[in-house]
């Protein structure tokens, strides 16, 4: 997303404080997700999250990479190596 790690963390903390996201820490990693209750309360957020990434090239690249990762059996519990998919887009 072209953000420094400290800047991204600062934004995530604000979103968490606003109760738009939740987090779960596992070892040195923190996993964030959109809070389902907030999506029900603010349906425009779900619409924004559904449509906006389609407009952003870096999101399209990340989504293509995620699809390839999942297609090879990768998930949070199962890691697989994939080659960069930059040439796909």
pLDDT in tens, the chain (89 residues): 667 889 989 999 999 999 899 999 888 888 899 999 988 998 898 888 888 888 888 888 888 888 888 888 877 666 677 766 554 44
Q: What is the pLDDT of residue 89?
A: 42
12 neighbors 24 (Cβ within 8 angstroms): no
Model pLDDT, residue 37:
92
Report pLDDT for 12: 94
CA atoms of 25 and 75, how far apart (whole Å): 17
Query: Which residues partner with 44 through β-bridges?
Result: none
As a whole number of angstroms, the distance between CA 52 and CA 77 comes to 28
**Residue 31 near residue 77 (C-beta atoms within 8 A):** no
pTM of the predicted model as reported, rounded to 2 decimal places: 0.58
């Amino acid at each position: 997303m072209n953000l420094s790690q400290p800047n991204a963390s600062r934004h995530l903390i604000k979103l968490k404080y606003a109760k738009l996201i939740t987090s779960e820490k596992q070892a040195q990693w923190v996993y964030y997700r959109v809070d389902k209750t907030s999506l029900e309360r603010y349906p425009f957020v779900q619409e924004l999250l559904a449509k906006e990434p389609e407009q952003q090239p870096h999101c399209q690249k990340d989504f293509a990479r995620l699809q390839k990762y999942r297609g090879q059996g990768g998930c949070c519990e199962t890691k697989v190596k994939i080659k960069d998919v930059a040439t796909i887009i």
